[in-house]
Structure 1
């Protein structure tokens, strides 16, 4: 009986992964409403559909910075965690199926997203502590998933998807922790964290090339590192050649994808090609209109492009648009 049940669960998991892959493709092609509708009409007792809905809701909250969007993201995360609990192994029992293993991975991912929302929603001390606890639990869950991978036989798309999620989680933690000051990192290592930059970059690069649901997120994490984080921290370790090589297949797959067009413009700025960068950012503004957050990212860069060229009136225009439309930093825009 258990064999038939596991086989049915396995088949349902594979079908659900196919549907989520289609929805993610729509999302990165700027068809946000269509992607959301596809997931909504198929939602029910599945595992990956609520997790994908939660992930997209968190991305929307980060882009919009609106209280309603943040509340929606937290609601979606609660729904995802409830769905995951139906598939996770029972307390005290070993993981014996691919579905249970994927449930552990999704649990780790949702804890990571929930921690991000804790930091984003309110900057008080209590939320910081709660977010830190969730981060630690997520980190431990990812480490456990890596160990459990050796005990459960996996194959095909389910293995590809699992490895993609593992690369994203392990890679993100290693990269984020490696950028902390040495004293802080030593303190975190005392309570179970560890971080190595080379490992983080390698795992994210492998995840970006793996063709999984999380491949675009792995790529975006690396692009953010090379195009922003290295610049802001002044480490001098930005690799624009690697960023261009990483971006190329996603631009080919999503030629009008706003977020990938945006990073194409960012790379041009860092290469000193301001005019070419402006064309890319304008393209990012015009290729979609239903997600203002992506447009605001381009407005921000266009403001600086005009300022670099001492074109103060158009620079003011984009700063004013941000001041009127975006909640990221009203003080800064003003």
Structure 2
């Protein structure tokens, strides 16, 4: 039994001050109906729960993941964020129960606000004139900032679905800017905060999880920006958002932050490459897709998410369908020989089987 399972069973430079001001102002109002004495969930345990739920999620054990997250979704921001992700994905994929998903995300935002560092009036005024000292933040307050940024990302995307008229586009664009400010603030925390490692509190693991979340969050954010419609990007530019429209690999695929987070960096970078490669293939841009998928397949240091490689190989094979079906068939057939014993293997085998059937029946290649 792993440590996380046992624990569950037991219980880039910019005007930083301006960005932080925007970030804090938009969600300045916090609910007062929470009783802080009811927050009994241990912070370290909440991270372990989130990690275990993530493992269940990627193994298609969704009920098990929900059962971990739901009991503390009202009191722990990590549990609340994970629980909101389920509703968010359901809303994005089915366009149903969007209001319910939005409510869960807003609940998560409220929780994150409660656990963030509270600045006094003097501190708020002082932060306008000098750089913020992130070393004053506790580990839990740092992670509250990260979870808030991730919740804001989901909230922004849902806004575009809830209301597709001009007012909805503007509101969603403003939320995108808030999300951007949040991730940039987290990036500054990661780079400038003095992390004090405590064996008892497992601070090294807490720091590594934070860095992993920041880099994955920024990568996901830029991936989202790259696929937004042009009219939304124009609004973002109008309101002062400085993100580039061009899909730039240096923005989406971040540099290795440190040796301590090498494992997470490699897996997360490979995942971003696979997602963007798959997107390019669907957009009928096979050359760009193959470049990203090749980088995914040659990514060194992948330790946990071994399924990324066979999935990238299959996506690469499908890129050849429009102009070289024989090569596509050969690559699909080779997948079972090259890769084995990885998560979601049976699902990929089914997809390969269906693709080969379509190719052998001389379909038009739309897989």
Calculate the TM-score normalised by the size of structure 1. Answer: 0.68
1:130 counterpart (171, 189, 194): 171
1:27 is aligned to 2:76 = no
Q: Which residue of 1 aligns with 2:296?
A: 243
Preserved contact between residue 146 and residue 182 of structure 2 (Cα < 8 Å)? yes
Alpha-carbon separation, structure 2, partners of 1:43 and 1:83? 9
Calculate the TM-score normalised by the size of structure 2. Answer: 0.63
- Mean alpha-carbon deviation: is it higher for 124-133 or for 230-239? 230-239
Alpha-carbon separation, structure 2, partners of 1:109 and 1:75? 15
The Cα offsets for residues 120-155 of structure 1, whole Å up to 9 and x where unpaired, read as 344333322221111011111212222233453224
Q: Which residue of 1 aligns with 2:242?
A: 193
1:45 counterpart (75, 78, 83): 75
Larger RCO, structure (CA 8 Å, separation 6 or more)? 1
Q: 1:162 to 1:223 in 2, by over 3 A?
A: same
RMSD (Å) for aligned C-alpha atoms: 4.3
Alpha-carbon separation, structure 1, partners of 2:110 and 2:148? 10
Preserved contact between residue 112 and residue 148 of structure 2 (Cα < 8 Å)? yes
Preserved contact between residue 24 and residue 35 of structure 1 (Cα < 8 Å)? yes
Q: Which residue of 1 aligns with 2:8?
A: none
Q: Which residue of 2 aligns with 1:144?
A: 185
1:229 is aligned to 2:280 = yes
Spell out the pairing of 1:1-334 with structure 2 (5 A cutoff).
Answer: 12-63=42-93, 65-68=94-97, 70-91=98-119, 92=121, 93=123, 96=136, 97-154=138-195, 155=197, 156-177=204-225, 188=236, 191-195=240-244, 197-203=248-254, 210-212=262-264, 219-229=270-280, 232=283, 234=285, 236-238=287-289, 239=291, 240-246=293-299, 249=302, 253=304, 262-270=311-319, 272-274=327-329, 277=332, 287=346, 306-311=357-362
Preserved contact between residue 175 and residue 197 of structure 1 (Cα < 8 Å)? no
The Cα offsets for residues 200-220 of structure 1, whole Å up to 9 and x where unpaired, read as 24318779x7445x9866543
The Cα offsets for residues 1-58 of structure 1, whole Å up to 9 and x where unpaired, read as xxxxxxxx9x932221111111101111111111111112344422211112222332
Q: Greater Rg, structure 1 or structure 2?
A: 2
Q: Which residue of 2 aligns with 1:330?
A: none
Alpha-carbon separation, structure 2, partners of 1:249 and 1:152? 27
Alpha-carbon separation, structure 2, partners of 1:163 and 1:104? 12
Alpha-carbon separation, structure 2, partners of 1:204 and 1:56? 29
Q: 1:21 to 1:215 in 2, by over 3 A?
A: farther
Instruction: State the secondary structure of the residue aligned to 1:153.
Output: coil
Instruction: State the secondary structure of the residue aligned to 1:86.
Output: helix
Q: 1:307 to 1:33 in 2, by over 3 A?
A: same
The Cα offsets for residues 235-265 of structure 1, whole Å up to 9 and x where unpaired, read as 8333232122349947xx467x7x8865553
- What is the number of residues matched between the two proteins? 290
The structure whose residues are more often helix, as a share, is 1
Preserved contact between residue 50 and residue 82 of structure 2 (Cα < 8 Å)? yes
The Cα offsets for residues 91-128 of structure 1, whole Å up to 9 and x where unpaired, read as 45465222222211211111111111222344333322
Residue segments in structure 1 that go unaligned for 5+ positions in a row: 1-8, 289-293, 320-334
The Cα offsets for residues 174-219 of structure 1, whole Å up to 9 and x where unpaired, read as 4555678999978855613223713224318779x7445x986654
Q: 1:35 to 1:152 in 2, by over 3 A?
A: same
